[in-house]
Structure 1
Amino acid sequence: MRIPRIYHPTPLTPGAEIILSEDAANHVARVLRMQAGGMLTLFDGTNMTFTAQITHADKKQVNVQLQSVQEDDRESPLHLHLGQVMSRGEKMEFTIQKAVELGVNIITPLLSERCGVKLDVERQEKKVQQWRKIAIAACEQCGRNRLPEIRNVMVLENWCAEPDTGLRLNLHPRAKHSINTLPLPVNRLRLLIGPEGGLSKEEINLTSHYDFTDILLGPRVLRTETTALTAITALQVRFGDLG
């Protein structure tokens, strides 16, 4: 039986007895129905994994005793920052979950002219908290031991203007370059994925102003969530650790 992987939000030390976070305890006790004596694997975002045994479990609290520790690096050599114009409902959640599984390091939700999601500041903050929980769950499932950063919502131009030493890419259906024509090596990328209606002409000009390279994925028009995952996969195959 596979040992469940659980994220813990504070640094872990071998030999310590700790109380799991509320979300983790709910998952262990209520969803998995685990009891005292059961084994877990814990990680705290430092690339270390800890074997832990449950010493107490009820519906309100789960205690575990930390045992052995080992380094377990699952990170890609490609540092990838995804700027994703927000999509509606489950599409954005799906994109974040799969981007985490594919090794993205940073995800910034973006607002653009044709963004179909309209949220006030309070709802934006709630969404970001929800997306961070989705990222944690994706790490628990896929084996990553470093949490990707889910940033607060930004306006497209502000994100484009941020300094970055890596290659900047923008997907465009009439681009002249494909991912396979990009020069090697590349170890740092900033990837922009636009909204379902695409970027406006002014926004495309904006990306050019900030030195983004337009790239083409193929002859077919892809939905925004398909575009993000296809591009990330292709970039990880060429520059990262897939394939």
Structure 2
Amino acid sequence: MSSLYLDETLDLAALAPGTELRLTGDEARHAVTVARVRPGERISIGDGRGVVVRGQVVATESRELTLLADEVLVEERPEVSITLVQALAKGDRDELAVQAATELGVDTVVPWAAARSVSRWEGPKAEKGRARWASIVREAVKQSIRSWLPEVAPVATTAQLPARLEGVRMLLLDPTATTPLSELRPDGRDLALVVGPEGGISPEELAKLTSAGAEPVRLGASVLRTSTAGPAAIAVLNAALGRW
């Protein structure tokens, strides 16, 4: 399988097989000097907006490569999108969740400053943290060769979540819930999975979110870490939505 390189500035939708495509800048530099891509190898180039071009490399320079396209693949956005609302967590547990969720097909990621989050994004740290997650998402898209690059939204508080997710069906992952996620029946609305931090979602947050329309659901009898709960739930939803 060929490697995927991303350049969001490219307009690939109008590209036809048999034409040449130039990749420049840092992405080309990484391909040529780090990954050591050489003429004759097959790679893929995506724009992060649903188009992936595949073909053979015909020329390379230090910060540029030229691809002869033989396939132009266009993927429409899914009819029902999946948003991961991931609580900030200590260490790299939240980053592991975001990485795996991206590989599994999440469409949007919302960092959540939950009441029990040990990690805090405040002031300049808020944008730095969002940018860090966006970089993780981008690399996960390339690794999994996805055509769409998920958005990483600014960090949200519990009070901000209902407005951020207006019109979206909120699914609150709660190990004490009585409804299994596997019994969920999609109703056409976009979906948002709300995943708490290591200490779980506080009773006050549960009350606020459920009063705003969130549905508490559980994955199974065991209690999963914050790093695995979201990705596991996305896998269940992929099956329910017919993505898998």
**Is this a same-fold pair by TM over 0.5?**
yes
Partner of residue 206, structure 1: 208
Q: Give CA-to-partner distance per residue, 1:133-182, whole Å, 9 cap, x none.
A: 22122111212101111111111220223353232110122212112333
| Counterpart pick for 1:20 among 20, 24, 29 | 24
Partner of residue 132, structure 1: 134
* Contact kept in structure 2, 1:110 and 1:156, CA below 8 Å: yes
Change (3 A) 1:141 1:192: same
Unaligned runs of 5+ in 2: none
CA distance in 2, matches of 1:158, 1:3: 41
RMSD (Å) for aligned C-alpha atoms? 2.2
Change (3 A) 1:184 1:93: closer
Amino acid at match of 1:124: A
CA distance in 2, matches of 1:210, 1:185: 18
Partner of residue 96, structure 2: 94
CA distance in 2, matches of 1:89, 1:16: 44
Hey, which bits of structure 1, 4+ residues long, moved more than 6 A? none
Q: TM-score, normalised by structure 2?
A: 0.87
CA distance in 2, matches of 1:96, 1:224: 10
Q: TM-score, normalised by structure 1?
A: 0.87
**Could you tell me how far 1:55 is from its partner in structure 2?**
2.4
Q: Give CA-to-partner distance per residue, 1:62-103, whole Å, 9 cap, x none.
A: 232453442243865531111111112321221111101111
Q: Give CA-to-partner distance per residue, 1:84-128, whole Å, 9 cap, x none.
A: 111123212211111011111000001011111023322222222
CA distance in 1, matches of 2:187, 2:236: 15
Partner of residue 43, structure 2: 40
Residue 31, structure 1, aligned to residue 30, structure 2: no
Unaligned runs of 5+ in 1: none
Q: How many residues of Structure 1 are paired with residues of Structure 2 in the alignment?
A: 238
CA distance in 2, matches of 1:37, 1:241: 34
**Could you tell me how far 1:54 is from its partner in structure 2?**
5.0
Partner of residue 142, structure 1: 144
Change (3 A) 1:76 1:102: farther
Q: Give CA-to-partner distance per residue, 1:14-72, whole Å, 9 cap, x none.
A: 346534231x13421232112355442101023222235252322xx123245344224
Partner of residue 11, structure 1: 10
* Contact kept in structure 2, 1:36 and 1:57, CA below 8 Å: no
More divergent stretch after superposition (98-107 vs 231-240): 231-240
More divergent stretch after superposition (27-36 vs 141-150): 27-36
CA distance in 1, matches of 2:152, 2:179: 29
CA distance in 1, matches of 2:99, 2:76: 16
Identity of aligned residues (%): 25
Partner of residue 191, structure 1: 193
Change (3 A) 1:163 1:241: closer
Amino acid at match of 1:238: A
